[in-house]
Amino acid sequence: MRYGSEIIRFSRFLVIAGVIGSSLFLQRASADDSASALSEMVSKVQFHTLDNGVRVILYNRGAAPVFAGSVVVRVGGSDELTGQTGISHLFEHMAFKGTRTVGTKDYARERELLEKLEKIAATSAAAQQLSEEQRKAWDDVHEKLREIWISDDFTRRYGQQGAVGQNATTDKEFTKYFVNLPRSAFEFWCKMEADRLLNPVMRQFYQERDVVLEERRMRFEDDPGGKLYELLLGVAYQRHPYRAPVIGYEQDLRGITATDLDAFRRKYYVPRNIVVSIVGRVDVDTDLEVIRRYFGALPKAPEVTRSVLAEAEQEGERRVSVKMAASPQIVIAYKKPNYPAPDDAPISVMAEILSGGRISPLYTELVKRRQLTADISNEEGPGVAYPNLLMFSATVKAPHTTDDVLQAFDAVIARFRRTGATAEQLQIAKRSIGMEYLRHLQSNQSLALDFASSELMYSSWKASVEWYDQVMKVTLDDIKRVADKYLIPETRTIGTVERAT
Amino acid sequence: MLMSLLNRVIAVFSVFVVCLIVSGCSVPQGVVAPPPFTRGDEVASFKPVQPERWRLPNGLTVLFMQDKELPLVRGRLFIRGGSLWGPAEPVGIVSAMGDLMRLGGAGNLSADALDRELEKLAAGIGSSFGAEFGGTSFSCLASDFERVFEIFSDVTRAPRFENDKLALWKGQSLEGIRRRKDDAQTVASIAFLSLVYGDTPYGRVVDDDDVRAINRQQLFKMHQEFVRPDEAILVVSGRVERDQVERLIHKHFGSWEPRGTKLPPPPAVGPPPKPGIYFVGLPFSQASIQIGELGVSRLTPDYPEIDVFNELFGSSGFGSRLMNRVRTEKGYSYGVYGGMSPGVVRGINYIFLQTKIASAVPAIEESLKVLRTLQEEPAQIGEIQEKQAAIANSFVFNFDSADEMAVRTAKLELLQYPTDYDATYLAKIQAVGPEMVQKVATERWDPSRFVMVVVGDESAYSDLEKATQDEKSMLYGRELKKLEFDRTLLIQ
């Protein structure tokens, strides 16, 4: 559950603070007087639920008059329907286009013109097949709109306030909007973020759709690793929406209209599905009132319901390979349960033992000793809400082949399943997970996003404390058990890039 | 270790990319805001704590910032010097030395023993050398500081450069070189820098033969030459007392022998490159485009207006005119960036973008038009003020943590910025007006000198050819040349 899941990283520190316990790491940390500082951190976190259901997390820290603000919505690729893949991410892009009062000189007039565009789009396959007459009307309307639009007004206003690192991301489960601002822009931030949740305008949509197609080309069509990942998920999952790329299939993207986005927003951008979190300079006495004034304006709406096709059990190894003008690489992906399944934490520890560092068995054998690959790493993903994958990936070193690598990889795994881990390996892995998290805590932004996504996924910003507790309790027997249960060919998918000759 | 490709793609998608600028050490800049945009009182009156500073007799400067929030200690040793001052051959030897300080064992620890010990401590130590700077770093739990600092000093002062780890590094490097062609932007970037800087230390690219030629004796020689305290700054921050830091630095770095001389001035940049469009045909669905010319040195007298120009033109993401025109209004590109990236002698003026093959020509033309407009018409005062406010209001982020504050101080010093840089800079930025920005556009940029690299599917070539023959195109009359790329650029 570690990758694609910043949630967990945040939880680690909470555990350190709250559940001072048995692990070596914790003993050392408390020897270092970290326990009191961390407990203090946690005790300062404020949690509120507004009347409309929006949840708010505030955490005051640091000396500088700055804060990281984030708005996280529980929607992503795993919520998408066949034929509309990519809509969550496309909406994320559109959320930077402004509102009824930002980005336009005359909203009333603009609205009429945008409606005209949507009428044309509805009868032209989402503006892909415009007749000559439609094309003329389309261009005419755009010409008028260009007079009204103030391009990039939303982000330029942020820039003027001193915004740093403003961006947003979409994954399988979350859409996250985030920015760092000077404290003086706190109310500005509340106003702008609430405005784009409440009154977004789907302007310049058809241009932005092209931008996303460019993004798709860059990340997936031209990138061997990206292409392989997309194909791998499409084979590892046959029914579950994890099979489709978050960025969407090209044909789906081309078929989406601004009207579709409106419907999408009304369903998912609702108060119970949104968490707002602020980390940095926070005034706990007055900030909540400001937040309530802006985010409290979102109208109450029904809770989001989800019905997702479950993945049938895998009954045999699957393989997928892409031939292209690129050097070989390999991904070996094992099916695994997701948190809160009890096996989740032991699997993360096992992965850390197997390939987490330069003394791990996979690194030692594949990279150092036999020099078959230039690297080896592991990730868990593609999401956290449903059973997911433990993926090992490696860059194959010439003149070796993906088959050579797979053979050597399998030998290491077989040996590991036979002998299990050592007590020292287990201890190093736990410590490394703890340290990784401590380093991660230094950023206001990571903390803000972690709080919010954890709250949305587990209905408690502290929920994943248990996960960390589980990590610290993992035993050598657990490692042996999950290795035997999950590191098996029957439920794995192997993906390779092979050089086209 | 090469970064896993999957690592990159498993990450989620963002609304926009972060610009990858080719320059080395970038220096944050700050200003006070001109009216009508004023910084909040709380932000304007914020006085960050300055790092404590002392100097060893051998020249090593120490910057120390205590930060008790987390039980961690971090250290960074910045050393002035790098491949610009290295031997002509083999290319990459200084950077190899930088990598292998950490990878090849140190002090009484073999490379494997070093890996093992750091894993047990869950500590990190790194080392690297670039063109102008290099150094080592560590990060550990406060309780392990003493031991990790000792290893860190061995990595810095007594690397072993073990042969088997050199061989491992060579294999990994060769694989990295082999894979350059897998990524259009890598190809474009290598081609662009090779063409702009030519056969000088600024433009040379490591190839297979260089990597194979590197041996252990050379690594020791480079280490002797470059890893010296004379022009070095050690930054330590975290939950640790000054006494302990001072004692350990004295113990481990007190006897570090200085070179005794400062580095000579950096080498000169070659003659200006031959303008033209350089096409590299590789099967990518997007054209990766890098356009530009030789630029200015750091601290050229007009640097304040250059910084405002950069914000306005294309270095500020969505706020910039390039992004506004090429991405938002035209939908041609996911990322388009442009600006002046100053260098130690001469930096580059650049426009970088990717776009589908069919829109390569119009996207280049739109980008050039954005520049032309800036040359022909002064920007509105409001737009200039907006950019000044952006710089002013984000200034505080240079000091938002103790560590950042100390690192910034070190970088400014190593880049040889004047000590009053921040103080005077405020007034200078505020004094920038539209005509000054226009002057940057007209006097610092000359599109007729541009080198334009286009990497992508062969079909883009004919579009470019047509454009160079079309009087109405902004590419009209430019020389168009096909180049081959195979690990490095092969110039016919």
In a domain, B327, yes or no: yes
Q: Is residue B66 located within the same domain as residue B146?
A: yes
Q: Among A235, A260, A295, identify where a domain stops.
A: A295
- What mean pLDDT is predicted for residues B75-103? 97
A window 260-289, beta carbon within 8 A of B? 281
Q: Do B239 and A395 touch (CB under 8 A)?
A: no
Report the residue from A151, A180, A221 with minimal CB separation from B328: A151
In a domain, B262, yes or no: no
Q: Is residue A209 located within the same domain as residue A287?
A: yes
What pLDDT shows up at residue B15?
52
Q: Do A218 and B286 touch (CB under 8 A)?
A: yes
Q: Among B253, B283, B298, identify where a domain stops.
A: B253
Q: Is residue A342 located within the same domain as residue A405?
A: yes
Q: Among B200, B226, B253, identify where a domain stops.
A: B253
Higher-confidence residue of B6 and A286: namely: A286
Q: Which of these ranges, A86-100, A344-358, B13-27, B342-356, has the smallest mean pLDDT?
A: B13-27
Whether pLDDT at B48 is above 90 = no
Q: Is residue B223 located within the same domain as residue B283?
A: no
What pLDDT shows up at residue A16?
27
Judged by a CB distance cut-off of 8 A, whether residue A314 touches chain B is no
What pLDDT shows up at residue A40?
66
Could you report the per-residue pLDDT of B200-210, keeping only the tens digit for each? 999 999 999 99
Q: Is residue B215 located within the same domain as residue B290?
A: no
Report the residue from B10, B141, B239 with minimal CB separation from A4: B10
Instruction: Using an 8 Å CB-CB cutoff, list chain B residues near A441.
Output: 70
In a domain, A179, yes or no: yes
Instruction: Give the angle B259-B263-B265 at the CA atoms, nearest 5°.
Output: 165
- What mean pLDDT is predicted for residues B149-171? 98
- The residue written with tokens 């503006």 in the block is A127
Among B409, B416, B352, which residue's Cα sits nearest to residue B132? Answer: B416
What pLDDT shows up at residue B488?
83
Q: Is residue A82 located within the same domain as residue A200?
A: yes
In a domain, A350, yes or no: yes
Could you report the per-residue pLDDT of B23-44, keeping only the tens digit for each? 333 322 222 333 334 455 677 7
**Residues belonging to chain A:** 501
Q: Is residue A288 located within the same domain as residue A327?
A: no
In a domain, A9, yes or no: no
In order, the DSSP letters of A74-136 are S--GGGPPTT-TTHHHHHHHHTTS-BSSSSBS-HHHHHHHHHHHHHHHHTTTTTTS--HHHHH
Q: Is residue B356 located within the same domain as residue B426?
A: yes
What pLDDT shows up at residue B46?
82
Report the residue from B4, B41, B139 with minimal CB separation from A439: B139
Whether pLDDT at A25 is above 50 = no
What pLDDT shows up at residue A329?
97
Q: For strands B133-141 and B124-129, give the pairing.
A: antiparallel
Higher-confidence residue of B288 and A432: namely: B288
Chain A with chain B: Cβ pairs closer than 8 A: 284
Whether pLDDT at A2 is above 60 = no
Handedness of CA B149, B155, B157, B160 (dihedral sign): positive
In a domain, B31, yes or no: no
A window 382-441, beta carbon within 8 A of B? 382, 391, 393-395, 397-398, 424, 428, 431-432, 434-435, 438-439, 441
Confidence tier at B419 by pLDDT (50, 70, 90): confident
In a domain, A470, yes or no: yes
In a domain, B9, yes or no: no
What pLDDT shows up at residue B486?
85
Spatial contact of A310 and A208, defined as CB atoms under 8 Å apart: no
In a domain, B29, yes or no: no
In a domain, A75, yes or no: yes
- What mean pLDDT is predicted for residues B348-363? 97
CATH number at residue B446: 3.30.830.10
Q: Is residue A235 located within the same domain as residue A345?
A: no
In a domain, A303, yes or no: no
Structure tokens at A46: 């404020």
Higher-confidence residue of B379 and B403: namely: B379
Q: Is residue B212 located within the same domain as residue B278?
A: no
d(CA B423, CA B100): 40
- The residue written with tokens 């890893």 in the block is B227
Please tell me whether residue A52 adopts helix, strand or coil conformation. Answer: coil
Q: Is residue B439 located within the same domain as residue B340?
A: yes
Chain A nearest CA to B21, separation (Å): 16
In a domain, A125, yes or no: no
Report the residue from B6, B327, B401 with minimal CB separation from A391: B6
Higher-confidence residue of A292 and A32: namely: A292
DSSP E strands in B329-459: the ranges are: 336-341, 348-356, 451-456
- What mean pLDDT is predicted for residues A350-375? 96
What pLDDT shows up at residue A29?
39
Q: Is residue A387 located within the same domain as residue A338?
A: yes
Q: Is residue B242 located within the same domain as residue B280?
A: no
In a domain, B117, yes or no: yes
Q: How many CB atoms lie within 10 A of CB A240?
A: 19
Q: State what percent of residues in chain B have pLDDT above 90.
A: 80
d(CA B422, CA B397): 14
Could you report the per-residue pLDDT of A397-422, keeping only the tens digit for each? 999 999 999 999 999 999 999 999 99
The whole domain housing A94 covers 66-104+149-295
Number of compact structural domains in chain A: 2
Q: Is residue A219 located within the same domain as residue A358?
A: no
Could you report the per-residue pLDDT of B326-339, keeping only the tens digit for each? 999 999 999 899 99
- What mean pLDDT is predicted for residues A196-215? 95
Average pLDDT of every residue of chain B: 90
Whether pLDDT at A170 is above 60 = yes
Q: Is residue A273 located within the same domain as residue A338?
A: no
In a domain, B380, yes or no: yes
What pLDDT shows up at residue A68?
97
Number of compact structural domains in chain B: 2
Q: Is residue B61 located within the same domain as residue B209?
A: yes
What pLDDT shows up at residue A467?
75
What does DSSP assign to residue A272? Answer: G
Q: Is residue B309 located within the same domain as residue B241?
A: no
Per-position b or e across B288-311, b if 16+ CB within 10 A of its CB: bbbbbbbbbebeeebbbbbbbbbb
In a domain, A379, yes or no: yes
- The number of angstroms, rounded, from the C-alpha of A217 to the middle of its chain's C-alpha atoms is 20
Q: Is residue A73 located within the same domain as residue A213?
A: yes
Judged by a CB distance cut-off of 8 A, whether residue A1 touches chain B is no
Q: Is residue A288 located within the same domain as residue A363?
A: no
Alpha carbon distances (Å) from A70 to A57, A98, A169, B163: 10, 17, 11, 49
Q: Is residue A282 located within the same domain as residue A326?
A: no
Q: Among A295, A327, A349, identify where a domain stops.
A: A295
Judged by a CB distance cut-off of 8 A, whether residue A331 touches chain B is yes
Q: Is residue A290 located within the same domain as residue A323?
A: no
State the burial class of residue A108 (Cβ atoms within 10 Å of its Cβ: 0-12, 13-18, 19+): exposed
CATH number at residue A375: 3.30.830.10
The whole domain housing B474 covers 272-490
